[in-house]
Amino acid sequence: MRSTFILVLLLSLTACAPLWQQRPASDPELLWQLRHQALVDLDQWQLQGRTAITQGKEGWNAGLRWQENHGAYQIKIEGPFSQGGITLEGNASKAILTMVDGQTISAADPEILIQKALGIQLPVSALRDWVRGIPYSPINIDKLDLDDKGQITHLIQQGWDISFLKYMPFDGYSVPSKIFIKNQDLSLRLIVTRWRHLE
């Protein structure tokens, strides 16, 4: 009689257990939830790589150095624009663009600044999350596909189609090393050759 009671009690506790406790450790959705929180908290880093931007019949290839420090960012694009380079830096309230000739332009957000100065629409604010392998916002996610490791492979958000083609290890994380981003007017390829902590 006692053994029957214990068996019933154990079955009841199992049925009432939270869903995450019932899932296997290899469940992609559970792995994604853990990855997402860890990558949201990752806000001090540097990356180095190269990018190719195509808009209509025009295209640019450039080196890229990107630094994030608790919400403040500095993005150096090296090579295009008369073989010089530009630097975009800012925070949540202001963005400053330094041109090849040293001239500076400022605006409230980086998208307006890039559009005004260069005539191209780059989703800079969203890219700051996409390069880490997470959506820009839980709002306006039209599609999100995961692999068996809980890594995003495909994301459609805010009119942009983002393919995460390759990942690389970084201090216990896996972070994107090859991303292809496009909308109706523009495409961007990003190859990251190095991730590291901010020094």
Considering only residues 199 and 14, tell me which one the structure prediction assigns the higher pLDDT. 199
Asked whether residue 19 is assigned to any structural domain, the reply reads no
Q: The domain containing residue 165 runs over which residues?
A: 27-193
Q: What is the pLDDT of residues 113-152, one digit of tens each?
A: 999 888 888 999 999 999 999 999 877 899 999 999 999 9
Looking at the predicted structure, is the pLDDT value of residue 6 above 50?
no
Q: What is the pLDDT of residues 167-197, one digit of tens each?
A: 999 988 899 999 999 999 999 999 999 999 9
Report the C-alpha gap between 81 and 85 in whole angstroms. Answer: 7
Q: Which among 180, 183, 148 has a CA at the least distance from the CA of 164?
A: 180
Compute CA 48 distance to the chain's CA centroid, rounded to the nearest angstrom: 14
* pLDDT score for 26: 74
Asked whether residue 145 is assigned to any structural domain, the reply reads yes
Asked whether residue 109 is assigned to any structural domain, the reply reads yes
Q: What is the pLDDT of residues 88-111, one digit of tens each?
A: 999 989 999 998 889 999 999 999
Name the domain count of the chain. Answer: 1
The CATH code of the domain that includes 42 is 2.50.20.10
Q: What is the DSSP string of 100-166?
A: TTS-EEEESSHHHHHHHHHS----HHHHHHHTTTS-S-STTEEEEEE-TTS-EEEEEETTEEEEEEE
Residue 17: HSE in the Cβ half-sphere, 13 Å Cα cutoff: 12
Asked whether residue 133 is assigned to any structural domain, the reply reads yes
Asked whether residue 5 is assigned to any structural domain, the reply reads no
Asked whether residue 13 is assigned to any structural domain, the reply reads no
Asked whether residue 46 is assigned to any structural domain, the reply reads yes
Residue 80 pLDDT level (bands cut at 50, 70, 90): low
Asked whether residue 14 is assigned to any structural domain, the reply reads no
Give the range with max mean pLDDT: 8-12, 63-67, 171-175: 63-67
Percent over 90 (pLDDT), the chain = 69
